[in-house]
Amino acid sequence: MIQFLSLSSGSNGNCYYLGNEETALLIDVGIGGRTIKKRLEDNGLSISNVDMILVTHNHIDHIKYLGSVADKLSLPVYAPAGIHQALEVHPCTKGMIKGCKRVIRKETFVQNRGVKFVAFDVPHDAVETVGYYIDFFGEKFVFMTDLGDVPEAAMEYCRMADHLIIESNFDLDMLIRGNYAPELKKRIYEGNGHLSNDQCAHALKMVIHKGLKSVYLCHLSENNNTPSLAYDSASEAISSMGYELGKDIKLFCLPRREPSPVFTFEEK
């Protein structure tokens, strides 16, 4: 049985768990080790089952506790060279993951403990940012948690996925009418920031296919979005392509500050 759990999703901290009885991985570690341990245990899972960490980029809400967790648990940390270079000088990870460092090449598959994964470029205003396509014992997942647009190369991975975890960060009207400084608004919506509800919906229309079983909307803004707005936008896109929500494809909004339910899938 494969289990997926969002431990936290948003600018307050990002961390996702994917595992089965044999192994598990974390994607990003933006929350503390004790919080991860407790949230896993509350759902009948164990942090001791985690064998690896994948890193999407070097922003603090994704790596704040990466150094301490990787060092304490001696977990390999996988990321492309540019991200690792940024981690070497970041205050949260400097000098803490040398023995755990695993440099991977983008667009090249890596295999560890039966899990196959590949990193691919997405546009975001970090030193380097990637999404991940993960073949987890036959179930195929795509994680894209911070990106200002969805490049065609990323869409190709989405078209092979059974499960898509994709950012739906902001509602454009809420952002424009909100209290953020003009420079911050521009940073968010201008291509290298975050994905809006409309952009997410457009991407779903472009990548939806018969093999896609579920979509998880992640990294929702606390100030510029609501779960209902994100959900309605994505559900309309899915329905417009002729798919029945809940029957053909399941759709979920991942909570910001709390863990999600545990989503389970049969291994192929």
Angstrom distance (rounded) from CA 174 to CA 197: 11
* Local confidence band at 115 (pLDDT 50, 70, 90 cut-offs): very high
Contact 59, 126 (CB under 8 A): yes
* Local confidence band at 258 (pLDDT 50, 70, 90 cut-offs): very high
Secondary structure E strands in the chain:
2-8, 15-19, 24-27, 50-54, 77-80, 101-104, 110-112, 115-121, 130-136, 139-144, 163-167, 214-218, 250-253, 263-265
Q: pLDDT digits over 136-168, tens only?
A: 999 999 999 999 999 999 999 999 999 999 999
Amino acid at 196: S
Contact 170, 221 (CB under 8 A): yes
* Local confidence band at 268 (pLDDT 50, 70, 90 cut-offs): confident
Residue 264 predicted with pLDDT over 80:
yes
Exposure letters 75-101 (e unless 16+ CB within 10 A, then b) = bbbbbbebbbebbeebebbeebbeebe
Contact 203, 233 (CB under 8 A): no
What is the reported pLDDT for 198?
98
What is the average pLDDT across 51-73? 97
* Local confidence band at 98 (pLDDT 50, 70, 90 cut-offs): confident
- Dump the DSSP string for 7-60: EE-STT--EEEEE-SS-EEEE---S-HHHHHHHHHTTT--GGGEEEEE-----H
* Predicted TM-score of the model (pTM): 0.97
* Local confidence band at 267 (pLDDT 50, 70, 90 cut-offs): confident
* Domain extents in the chain: 2-265
Classified as helix, coil or strand, 251 is: strand
What is the reported pLDDT for 149?
97
Angstrom distance (rounded) from CA 229 to CA 28: 26
Helix (H) or strand (E) holding 88: helix 81-89
Mean pLDDT of the chain: 97
- Please give the distance of CA 92 from its chain centroid, rounded to a whole number: 20
What is the average pLDDT across 169-188? 95
What is the average pLDDT across 86-107? 95
Contact 84, 92 (CB under 8 A): no
What is the reported pLDDT for 266?
87
* Level-2 CATH architecture, domain 2-265: 4-Layer Sandwich (3.60)
